[in-house]
Amino acid sequence: MSSEQQNAGNPEKQILKPQGESSDTSSAYLDLGKPDLSKPNSSKPNASKPDLDKPSFRLQKSQKENLQIVAIALALAVIIRLFIAEPRFIPSDSMVPTLLIGDRLVIEKISYRFHPPTLGDIVVFEPPQQLQIYGYAPDKAFIKRVIGTPGDIVQVKQGEVYLNSQPLTEPYTAEPPDYEMEPVQVPPNQLFVMGDNRNNSNDSHVWGFLPQENVIGRAVFRFFPIDRIGRVKFAPDQPESPYPSESQPIS
């Protein structure tokens, strides 16, 4: 008896094959072989890298760099304006002839962090409380010249300003003062300030002393108009201070 006849009689030993399939079992499997790693796998998405040479990429990079530069410049401008220096515009004639209407100045803020204002400094300041009572806004800046510092005695008589009993030589004023002022002593942490246009200046001879804490900075440089550009002096022909080198003791 053949093996096929024996298997036919035994159902458990029967092997079912698809119709028309060869009895060679090796043909029932695909020969996949080893993967060819040298060829790209087309079944995965192509994770392409950005083309650094494309104009659109270069434009985006340039715009990002420009924004960074602008941000840094703005930050520096804010820091410089708050702590180092700031530009100011002269709106009135109270400092004529030293400063004219329309002059643009650089106001430096560093030096007064190390020492108080000195005689002859041209200072920019916030209005003191006595001026705010009369309606001046706290952010409205004034500019005047320091005539007296703490302990000094200031007096105006016979067309001259006296500092500690000595008349000041003031070639920077528009004209001699046409008013009189009794001697006053500058209190601690205060200043006595006046405009160079003596008869057209709202200054300490009108409203009193200026707290040093109100001082924003001092005028050091005029950058406009071009024909008068340069350092702010006591007077065009007198860069030296006209103030006494030593204050007299107060009796």
Is residue 54 among the annotated active site residues?
no
Query: Per the domain annotation, does 238 fall within a domain?
Result: no
Question: In 94-172, which ranges are E strands?
Answer: 104-108, 122-125, 142-148, 153-157, 160-163, 166-167
243 inside domain: no
Single-letter residue type at 247: S
94 belongs to the catalytic site: yes
Q: What is the pLDDT of residues 83-92, one digit of tens each?
A: 577 889 999 9
pLDDT 10s digits, 15-65: 445 454 444 544 444 455 555 555 555 555 555 555 556 677 666 777 777
Average pLDDT over all residues of the chain: 78
Asked if residue 75 belongs to a domain, the reply is no
Does 110 map to a domain? yes
- Closest CA relative to residue 128, chosen from 209, 184, 196: 209
Q: Per the domain annotation, does 155 fall within a domain?
A: yes
In a domain, 205, yes or no: yes
Give the count of domains, the chain: 1
Partner residues linked to 211 by β-bridges: 190
Q: Which of 62, 109, 144, 157 is catalytic?
A: 144
Residue 40 in any domain: the answer is no
Domain range spanning residue 190?
Answer: 87-231
What's the Cα-to-Cα distance from 63 to each of 71, 79, 165, 168, 225, rounded to whole Å? 12, 24, 66, 60, 36
CATH number at residue 177: 2.10.109.10
Q: What is the pTM of this model?
A: 0.67
User: Per the domain annotation, does 80 fall within a domain?
Assistant: no
